[in-house]
Amino acid sequence: MLPQLEPPPFESTDLVTRFESAARGHGFRCERYGEVAGCPLIALTKRTPGPRPRLYLSSGIHGDEPAPPLALLEMLESGTFDSRANWLICPLLTPSGFLKRTRESAEGVDPNRDYKDIRSAEIRAHINWLQRQPNFEITFSFFDEIMSLSKLLRKIISRLPSGFVQRTSSLSDLEASVTMRMSQMTLETA
Ligand SMILES: [Zn+2]
């Protein structure tokens, strides 16, 4: 049984504060790589010495899809992101959309279509951040579409070199726990 969760914090700035305090409490470094409409844009990173896969996770690109950021917050607070990997997490890519619960950012742009002709402040700042990072072994972008998410993750995992999956057995755990938490979050925020 999953524990009962408290009602979701819907203000972007409250959510950022909760992300930062949970991240610091679990050994993450918090970087504010920009600010839009008074809300910081945050990246949370945690590195453990020795060979570790670099896993990049992002969520919250569409403001009308609240489950993924809330699921990542709950996983962060419960210590899921431990020393098995080097974690790079951008949990709330479009706080201005989240604030209004819209797919579009404050500029009226679909942020997930904005990486080529950049028009939104959030995506411009995110690209600048990405360009400063090392390559990732695996990227997970979480959207609020449970069925396609688990299908997609299975596809990604099936394409990994065989040795890699063994080295990172946490992947299937991660898939299962993100999917489970997102299912619950979606029910609660629907
Ligand atoms: Zn979407």
Read off the pLDDT band of 140 (50, 70, 90). Answer: confident
Query: Domains of the chain by range and CATH?
Result: 12-189 (3.40.630.10)
Residue 62 Cα to ligand 1 midpoint, Å, equals: 5
Residue 144 Cα to ligand 1 midpoint, Å, equals: 6
Name the one residue in this structure whose structure tokens are 């299937």: 172
Per DSSP, what are the bridge partners of residue 87? Answer: 46, 55
Q: Is the pLDDT of residue 57 over 90?
A: yes
Query: What's the CA angle centered on 177, arms 188 and 46, to 5 degrees?
Result: 110
Q: Which residues of 38-61 are buried (b: 16+ CB within 10 A; e: fewer)?
A: ebbbbbbbbbeeeebbbbbbbbbb
Who surrounds ion ligand 1 at CB < 5 A? Answer: 62, 143
**Per-residue pLDDT tens digits for 17-50:** 999 999 999 999 999 999 998 899 999 999 999 9
Residue 21 Cα to ligand 1 midpoint, Å, equals: 27
pTM beyond 0.85: the answer is no
**Per-residue pLDDT tens digits for 166-176:** 444 556 667 66
Read off the pLDDT band of 160 (50, 70, 90). Answer: low
